[in-house]
Amino acid sequence: MTFARQQDIQFLIDRFGYIRNVIELSNAENLTSINIIAENFFRDLLNLAFGYNLKNMNIDESNTAAIDLGDGRSKIAIQVTATGGKAKITKTLRKFCEKDHHEKFDKLIILIATKKLKYQTDFETDTNGKFTISLKNDVWDWSDLVKKIGDLSLGDIKK
Note whether 116 and 138 are within 8 A (CB): no
**pLDDT tens for residues 12-60?**
999 999 999 999 999 999 999 999 999 999 999 999 999 999 999 999 8
- Answer yes or no: pTM beyond 0.85: yes
In the sheet with 139-140, reading across from the earlier edge strand, the strands are: 55-56, 69-71, 76-81, 107-112, 139-140
Mean pLDDT of 117-130: 72
Burial status of residue 103 (CB atoms within 10 A of its CB: 0-12, 13-18, 19 or more): exposed
Q: Would you kindly state where each structural domain of the chain is located, as residue ranges?
A: 3-158
Looking at the chain, list the stretches that DSSP marks H as alpha helix, in order from N- to C-terminal side. Answer: 3-28, 33-50, 86-98, 135-138, 142-150, 154-158
pLDDT of residue 25: 96
Query: Measured in Å, how far apart are the chain's first and last C-alpha atoms?
Result: 18
Residue 77 clears pLDDT 90, i.e. is over it: yes
Mean pLDDT of 68-78: 97
Residue 124 clears pLDDT 70, i.e. is over it: no
Instruction: Kindly report the length of the chain.
Output: 159
